[in-house]
Structure 1
Amino acid sequence: MTASGPDGPADRSPGGPEDPRPTVTPTRYRDLGGIAVVATLLGNILVQLTYSYLPGLPVAAGVTVGLLGVAEIVGGVLLRRRIEHRHGAPPVPALVAARAVLLAKASSVGGAVLTGLWAGVLLHTLPRASVVVAAAADSVSAGIGLVCALLLVGGALWLEHCCRAPDDRDDDPGGGDPRPTA
């Protein structure tokens, strides 16, 4: 289907260069890294300004995020089995796959923000841990939070990867479409 636009004919075929339908692209690692760096800087500034007023950091805050990451990893494995129709698994409705991809994308961004914030806390507390008792305890909590936030990012990226259609190939030299099933 070709439509004529102000600059001449435009290719509006499905998958064409000017396809008006929205597409979902794989999450880029550099975007997540940039988010984490900005969150680290902002988090460190915030902690430096308010550390004396903050209560002790609970370990449970980081562990909760880690549990979400584990849940996404398990969900990805189970969803992948259904997408590939392994062992007679029922097919995945398109809306379920789309929701899983959106959850994965949101979780990866949220995990990157939390990774940066925990890293910002660690940058402030770790150098003071040998002098200030509260900083030592907060360093442990922040370290656990950082590891668990990274687990959330990894789980989200795994879930997103698991939602890709079986015929998608990242290493396809012919330029295969790496978009998730959505």
Structure 2
Amino acid sequence: MPDDGRGTLAPTGWRVPAALAALGALAGLFVANSVSGLPVLPWSAIPTLLLLAFAEAFTARRTSRRIRREPGTEPMEPLSAARLLALAKASTLFAALALGFFAGMALAVTDHLALPTHRAVFLTCLGTALTAGLLLAAALYLEHACRVPEDRGDDEDRS
């Protein structure tokens, strides 16, 4: 197959997010074990990531309807779809890394849950990891929504 100079963009597989989550978990374990006197983490990341996940899921639903040209929707501009795809790819990478990092930190403090500071860190990290997982799912849904459906009209014309 000759290279015509045009690049192709493949859908995000499971390997890159899984590798980033594993690297993030190792980093979270390392940070939690190397810092003496673990500070209480702010809980503000939980609603922020939840809001981002909701926004991306809502956008994915609208994008899917517009790309399929359902009645009552305007067709989507290709540049807008490309921008949403870039957002989905970036969100996927960030969410996988955040999921791993905060899950690793939560795992690191499970031995000391009797201490109030560690319990607060555990709950904050667990909540942040769960909302990062929701953002990961919403980003993958947005990426899937940006796919152009197969053109069935060409197959019928050829036969």
TM-score of the superposed pair, with normalisation by structure 2: 0.89
- Give the equivalent residue in structure 2 for 1:122: 106
Deviation (angstroms), 1:55: 2.8
What is the CA–CA distance in structure 2 between the aligned matches of 1:98 and 1:150, rounded to whole Å? 23
Aligned-pair distance for 1:51? Answer: 4.6
Q: 53, 71, 76: which is aligned to 1:92?
A: 76
Question: Does structure 1 residue 167 correspond to structure 2 residue 150?
Answer: yes
Task: Give the counterpart of 1:137 among 120, 126, 140.
Answer: 120
| SS of the residue 1:86 aligns to | coil
The residue aligned with 1:158 is 141
Pair 1:67–1:109, CA change in 2 (3 A)? same
Find the counterpart in structure 2 of residue 102 from structure 1.
86
Structure-1-length-normalised TM-score = 0.79
- What amino acid maps onto 1:25 in structure 2? A
What residue in structure 1 maps to residue 156 of structure 2?
none
Q: Could you tell me whether the CA contact under 8 Å between 1:62 and 1:142 is conserved in 2?
A: no
Partners in 2 of 1:80 and 1:134 — Cα distance?
44
Greater strand proportion: 1
Cα distance, 1:166–1:113 mapped onto 2, change above 3 Å: same
Deviations 1:66-116 (A, max 9, x none): 211111000000111111111231110000000001100000000001001
CA distance in 1, matches of 2:31, 2:121: 15
1:33 paired to 2:18: yes
Which residue in 1 is equivalent to 2:46? 62
Looking at structure 2, the residues matched to 147 and 77 of structure 1 have their Cα atoms a distance apart, in angstroms, of: 22
Secondary structure of the corresponding residue to residue 87 of structure 1? coil
Aligned-residue sequence identity (percent) comes to: 34
- Structure with a larger share of its residues in helix: 2
Runs of 4+ that moved beyond 3 A: none
Unaligned runs of 5+ residues in structure 1 are 1-9, 12-17, 169-182
Count of residues in correspondence between the two structures: 151
Between structure 1 and structure 2, the one with the greater Rg is 1
CA contact (8 A) 2:98 2:129 kept: yes
**Quick one: distance in 2 between partners of 1:51 and 1:96?**
47
